[in-house]
Structure 1
Amino acid sequence: MPERTDSESRKLLKRLRDTLAAPGDGQARLDSITHHIADSMGTQVCSIYLFRDPETLELCATEGLRRQAVHQTRLRLGEGLVGRVARTGRAINTANAPAEPGFRYMPETGEEVFPSFLGVPIQRVGEKLGVLVVQSRDARQYSEDEIYGLEVVAMVLAEMAELGAFLGSDAQKSAHRLPVAFRGVTGQEGAAEGQVWLHEPRVVITNPVADDPEKERARLVEAVAMLRQTVDQMVNAADLAGGDGEGVLEAYRMFTRSRSWLRRMEEDIDLGLSAEAAVEKEQSHARAKLESTADPYLRDRLHDLDDLSNRLLRILTGQGQDTGIVMPANPILVARNIGPAELLEYGRGLRGVVLEEGSVGSHAAIVARSLAIPLVIHAARITDEALNGDPILVDGDTGVVHLRPEDTVAAAFRDKIAMHAEAQKRYAGLRDLPATATCGTTVSLLMNAGLMADLPSLEGSGAEGVGLFRTELQFLIRTRVPRRSELAALYRRVMDNARGKPVIFRTLDIGSDKVLPYMKRIDEPNPAMGWRAIRVGLEKRGVLQMQLQALIRAAEGRDLHVMFPFIADCDEYHESRAMLLAQLEREAALGHAPPTSVRIGAMLETPSLAFAPDAFFRECDFISIGGNDLKQFFFAADRENERVRKRYDTLSVPFLNLVEMIVRRCAALGVPLSFCGEDAGRPVEAAVMAALGLTTLSMRPASIGPVKALLRRTDLRALRALIDDKRESGATNLRPAVTRFLAEG
């Protein structure tokens, strides 16, 4: 087969462009495309396989194979050579296809007389659309130039698919108009109805093929120059003054000056792509590598390249974030992912958030809880389907999102929201009443916080104080380490807004899924059990000391409560406590007014601490059970892993036995104990904890009303008797019995 010249490649791409513009249905376009590709490349076969669902490929058009196989031949993802190309995102080039591992013979196609095989993925910015295949009778491997040329053609096919070229006229009209449901994962409970607001509106390329390579090269060079200028300004404005963060941004800036990056895009332009299509082809290549590499450093660098490609595309197309569309009155933010600072910029105006990525403990999830808005994560491919202004329903309770819902679905959803609003009115009437059970036991309900925006909820929710103030959020939303004076001013405002109610400040809890933007990410096989929380603080002592100094200065003349996170060994607490006491002495020597009193506590988040010596418990002024981490370590079930986390129930007898043991130890030694975490805010779980003797619970503000309502109508002594009876009878999980008891009470 003759080598194709650049001009021949451009001729083929122009034919494909003409095919896109010509009238006709999707099948006619596909048939025409396979004919043009086979003719241009001098092959006997050209076939297009497209995904019909995420796991199934279908032969949708062919030149050279038997026509009756079209829409009949199907392959599972990973099955046969075509399935392997789709699964790996990498080309397969062989002179003897039947001898290749995994080859699947499909007799209905008649392909057995074509031993040579070249398959390349049809993909667009991480989205796998199908596979493009050419085959020949002569047993030969295709050249590097031929592979590269076919990849360029596949790129154009991906853009044509994005524009709906293969849907047919009727289906094309209905694209982005039909109802779609996405099943994700709950990041924050709640329900919301609104309209889509895309965090980064998708760039649509309408001109994948260009006639004038020189003009496209010039456009690309000009756009890259603008990109470099923008990134330079961003790096200079960051003012990181050395450290890991500066190195990360400098590496980011270096990418913009990568000669090989620019050269690859120029080569694509020479073959006939527009500047935009060349950038997106390179971006798709980076995304494919991003998905396949396990090296965290390489993943970060490829992510940088992906982000730069997005910026470059917006410069070339003019489709910036400011698209001229006005944000709707009831916006639901939809994004692949989002940082805490960006989410905070939107503020409480958002009705809800839907992300394709993220985690239940991510920065975005923490901010969403602070803003009291529902969040669904892992809603796969929603950014591909959603358009600005689309009606959308977010059910944070079940993790389901309805895009462009049918009327019956919307009506049922509105009923749910109305019932929730009515319940909130009832809870508001309980705001000033104590959480006293019918047996006379009173439970203290505190709230979790992390932002100044949380503090108005302290009064409105009826919380008796802040059981956990997450100090890491102020570090996560900045591009540099906050100054001591900034932190002291913030902590002072928090105490002012608490109006005399206690605020327990948890020192910096970073690591695992909370990585500071200016701190180098550590490569760890299991970050949740690695270098995080107090382990970071005791190693980077300067940051922890600075934070403690800020807390002491903010509390002048007031009570100060400090809690150290993730204590797994008594020595960690001794060292942390000694550091705080040393800073108190230092601040007094400098003439700063001391707090009226200082109470120092620890978060019990690891099973090891539950078995610490009595001396440790006596040394603590208070202890708070961190239920989220304690449960995942107790069950050895990562709470970010949907496959395992839901298998382990808080109301399982072994876990409740551990909690009860901690309650008894603290009671015997006179140590105040609280329970903090998601389970504290779930009414059924909260009632069980209270029945076991936990009389202080800390939760998100919106949970205080429902928990208080249930506690006020529950006899905790009778519930405790039920718990003991079921344990004695050998029950392994108390949820069915407890749920029945509370429903009948």
Structure 2
Amino acid sequence: MIVLEGKSVFNDICMGNISFYKRKESVIKRYKVEDTDAEIKRFESAKEKGKKQLQSLYEKALADVGEANAAIFEIHQMMLEDLDYCESIINIINSQQVNAEYAVGVTADNFTAMFAAMDDAYMQGRAADVKDVSERLLKILTNAEDGIQILNDKVVIAADDLVPSETVQLDKDKVLGFIMQNGSANSHTAILARSMGIPAIIGLGEDLKKEFDGKYVIVDGFHGKVYIEPDEETLAVMEKRRKESLERKELLQQLKDKEDITLDGTKINIYANIGNSSDVGNVLKNDANGIGLFRSEFLYLENSDYPTEEQQFAAYKTVAENMAGKKVIIRTLDIGADKKVDYFKLDKEENPALGYRAIRICLTRKEIFKTQLRALYRAAVFGNISIMFPMIISVEEVKAIKVIIAQVKEELKQEGIPFKENVETGIMIETPASVMISDELAKEVDFFSVGTNDLTQYTLAIDRQNQKLEPFYNAHHKAVLKMIKMAADNAHAEGKWIGICGELGADITLTEEFLKMGIDELSVSASMVLEVRKRVREIDLTK
């Protein structure tokens, strides 16, 4: 038996044979051309054909994995029109008098290396997108066959990593799980695994060898382990755990439509976190009582330019209407730190987590902020929307926000555009500063929501993106828990409610402690709603 260890991106167990993803690589030859105009036309023709193929893939992905995951193929279509990318290819053809295939290959290598070298994890992920788009062009230019993986049986897919066009063409009914040499929690493989609800382990490195193709394997997504040709004892243990996992899922389904209430009658709201409007279906499917965190920055991350007021209004309105009166808390733009957007043209910072981000951008680039607030106040007419502001460190910031809100309302009134006058507003408690002055902040807002990811990072002075510091990172640190309790006490002293929307909200080992602190709401990933509900209903706060 061989045991490999990596990082899990979805907690579950699967068993089956390994199937290494097989690709048909395009062979690129360099040769001189006399007619560069004709070669550029070849490139333009391939580009148009590629866009049509991507549109077909988008439609297939829409049916298979939903709008959010299908959107990558719209982004790929835009990448084919990217001026820098296209100009690089055309310049190489003209200046070197070479064939289009070679120009695409060189450009792909240059752009992939550029993205891969960036510090930001999101931008590093774009390297795979450039590679995918370029490989599509090369296949068209060389008349190569598409390397679609034909799966005859249910298998565990293994690869270095998979790009979007590869994942979408897999027969989802035949995929038991994924094991990858590389990848990240934000890779397309990880996203697909979570949407499909199957185990996936990334970062196995060179230990995952192609010679394992066809071998029987157990993928333990709970502990990030892969057992290749497991012995009888391991097989028996994992079979038992898989059966328990299946039984647990079935039992959790019985909790739908049940109240989020403890044995002693204490009620709590269990909400869900989402990234965009297409996630609402999963929220309703898992019976969340509302949305505790709508990360509005994904509207910006998925766009090639600033999303317009109408784009944002449509997205917020859709979510509000679909939630049919249930609370929808929308966090304003939280760009910066590990979430960068090219068109914002943010300067490179030595320590971006402590830099120009979130509300600091909004308060200094007010037109961007006003556009979002206009869309939010207009959409609030169509449902129960609340607005939440991130990275607050002072009362002065909250007062400055209120001035801008008043300006936005006055503008909408003057223009005769319908909007909701009284929208509940709150702030994220995610800096030690906001905790220490939470007694003053509670007088200014309607609610608090604790962002435990950043609060832990700033309290412990540990960059949560730095893997070397994982042994020192302790989300259960007493200092963090004491800060949450302090914020809760100060909120309640002013008659305001407080929730948790960070990762700790789904940590069922802390649920009872949070309830004892007086936390009123927990917002978790949709897939964890029923799990947290089960834990809440087991607790008796009188004991």
Shorter-chain TM band: 0.7 to 0.9
Deviation at 1:627, TM superposition (A): 0.8
Quick one: which amino acid aligns to residue 524 of structure 2? M
Quick check: 2:321–2:383 contact (8 Å CA) kept in 1?
A: no
Residue-by-residue CA offset, 1:203-252 (whole Å, 9 max, x unaligned): 547x89xxxxxx862599998874465569989x99xxxxxx99x93322
Give distance in 2, aligned partners of 1:332 and 1:224. Answer: 42
Q: Does residue 352 of structure 2 align to residue 527 of structure 1?
A: yes
Quick one: which amino acid aligns to residue 700 of structure 1? S
Give distance in 2, aligned partners of 1:486 and 1:342. Answer: 30
Give distance in 2, aligned partners of 1:281 and 1:596. Answer: 55
| Cα root mean square deviation, aligned | 5.0
Give distance in 2, aligned partners of 1:385 and 1:226. Answer: 37
Partner of 1:186: 8
Give distance in 2, aligned partners of 1:606 and 1:596. Answer: 29
Deviation at 1:628, TM superposition (A): 1.0
Residue-by-residue CA offset, 1:456-497 (whole Å, 9 max, x unaligned): 333432322111112222333333433322322222221122
Partner of 1:741: none
Deviation at 1:571, TM superposition (A): 2.9
The SS at the match of 1:555 is helix
Quick check: 1:557–1:596 contact (8 Å CA) kept in 2?
A: no
Deviation at 1:503, TM superposition (A): 0.8
Residue-by-residue CA offset, 1:413-454 (whole Å, 9 max, x unaligned): 554333222101212222222233334333221111223343
**Aligned CA distance change for structure 1 residues 618 and 251 (closer, same or farther; 3 Å):** same
Deviation at 1:588, TM superposition (A): 2.8
Equivalent residue for 1:599, pick from 402, 421, 424: 424
The SS at the match of 2:31 is helix
Deviation at 1:681, TM superposition (A): 0.9
Q: Does residue 420 of structure 2 align to residue 420 of structure 1?
A: no
Residue-by-residue CA offset, 1:489-535 (whole Å, 9 max, x unaligned): 22222112212111111112222232336544642223332232222
Equivalent residue for 2:368, pick from 523, 543, 566: 543
Per chain length, whose mean CA-contact separation is higher, i.e. which structure has more relative contact order (CA < 8 Å, sep 6+)?
2
Deviation at 1:348, TM superposition (A): 8.8
Residue-by-residue CA offset, 1:560-583 (whole Å, 9 max, x unaligned): 301112223333333233323322
Quick one: which amino acid aligns to residue 467 of structure 1? G
Give distance in 1, aligned partners of 2:168 and 2:400. Answer: 35
Quick check: 1:446–1:464 contact (8 Å CA) kept in 2?
A: yes
Equivalent residue for 1:462, pick from 283, 287, 295: 287
Quick one: which amino acid aligns to residue 189 of structure 1? N
Q: Which moved more, 1:593-602 or 1:496-505?
A: 593-602
Partner of 2:84: 251
The SS at the match of 1:684 is coil
Partner of 2:339: 514
Q: Identity across aligned pairs (percent)?
A: 27
Pairs within 5 Å for 1:518-667: 518-520=343-345, 522-556=347-381, 558-595=383-420, 597-612=422-437, 614-667=439-492
Quick check: 1:231–1:253 contact (8 Å CA) kept in 2?
A: no
Quick one: which amino acid aligns to residue 516 of structure 2? A
Give distance in 1, aligned partners of 2:540 and 2:281. Answer: 32
Partner of 1:11: none
Quick one: which amino acid aligns to residue 256 of structure 1? I
Residue-by-residue CA offset, 1:248-274 (whole Å, 9 max, x unaligned): 9332223214549986999xxxxxxxx
Give distance in 1, aligned partners of 2:434 and 2:506. Answer: 24
Give distance in 1, aligned partners of 2:19 and 2:368. Answer: 38
Give distance in 1, aligned partners of 2:168 and 2:477. Answer: 37
**Aligned CA distance change for structure 1 residues 693 and 289 (closer, same or farther; 3 Å):** closer
Deviation at 1:602, TM superposition (A): 0.7
Quick check: 1:430–1:709 contact (8 Å CA) kept in 2?
A: yes
Pairs within 5 Å for 1:109-188: 182-188=4-10
Quick one: which amino acid aligns to residue 490 of structure 2? R
Deviation at 1:609, TM superposition (A): 0.8
Deviation at 1:662, TM superposition (A): 1.5
Give distance in 1, aligned partners of 2:495 and 2:537. Answer: 26
Partner of 1:323: 147
Quick one: which amino acid aligns to residue 632 of structure 1? Q
Give distance in 2, aligned partners of 1:654 and 1:191. Answer: 35
Give distance in 2, aligned partners of 1:623 and 1:499. Answer: 23
**Aligned CA distance change for structure 1 residues 281 and 496 (closer, same or farther; 3 Å):** closer
Deviation at 1:183, TM superposition (A): 2.7
Deviation at 1:317, TM superposition (A): 5.7
Give distance in 2, aligned partners of 1:398 and 1:565. Answer: 33
**Aligned CA distance change for structure 1 residues 428 and 558 (closer, same or farther; 3 Å):** same
Partner of 1:84: none
The SS at the match of 2:411 is helix
Partner of 2:527: 702
The SS at the match of 1:620 is coil
Q: Does residue 312 of structure 2 align to residue 495 of structure 1?
A: no
Quick one: which amino acid aligns to residue 185 of structure 1? K
**Aligned CA distance change for structure 1 residues 307 and 703 (closer, same or farther; 3 Å):** closer
**Aligned CA distance change for structure 1 residues 666 and 194 (closer, same or farther; 3 Å):** farther
Equivalent residue for 1:713, pick from 518, 538, 541: 538
Give distance in 2, aligned partners of 1:257 and 1:389. Answer: 44
Residue-by-residue CA offset, 1:331-383 (whole Å, 9 max, x unaligned): 87767667899989999988666665555578986786577555544343589
**Aligned CA distance change for structure 1 residues 223 and 568 (closer, same or farther; 3 Å):** farther
Pairs within 5 Å for 1:359-508: 359-360=184-185, 374-381=199-206, 385=210, 394-401=219-226, 413=238, 415-508=240-333
Quick check: 1:182–1:380 contact (8 Å CA) kept in 2?
A: no
Deviation at 1:589, TM superposition (A): 2.8
TM-score, normalising length from structure 1? Answer: 0.57
**Aligned CA distance change for structure 1 residues 595 and 371 (closer, same or farther; 3 Å):** farther
Give distance in 2, aligned partners of 1:705 and 1:265. Answer: 59
Give distance in 1, aligned partners of 2:12 and 2:90. Answer: 46
Give distance in 1, aligned partners of 2:43 and 2:215. Answer: 31
Q: Which moved more, 1:410-419 or 1:644-653?
A: 410-419
Quick one: which amino acid aligns to residue 589 of structure 1? Q
Give distance in 1, aligned partners of 2:294 and 2:118. Answer: 37
The SS at the match of 2:499 is strand
Q: Which moved more, 1:495-504 or 1:286-295?
A: 286-295
Give distance in 2, aligned partners of 1:299 and 1:464. Answer: 36
**Aligned CA distance change for structure 1 residues 292 and 650 (closer, same or farther; 3 Å):** closer
**Aligned CA distance change for structure 1 residues 186 and 217 (closer, same or farther; 3 Å):** same
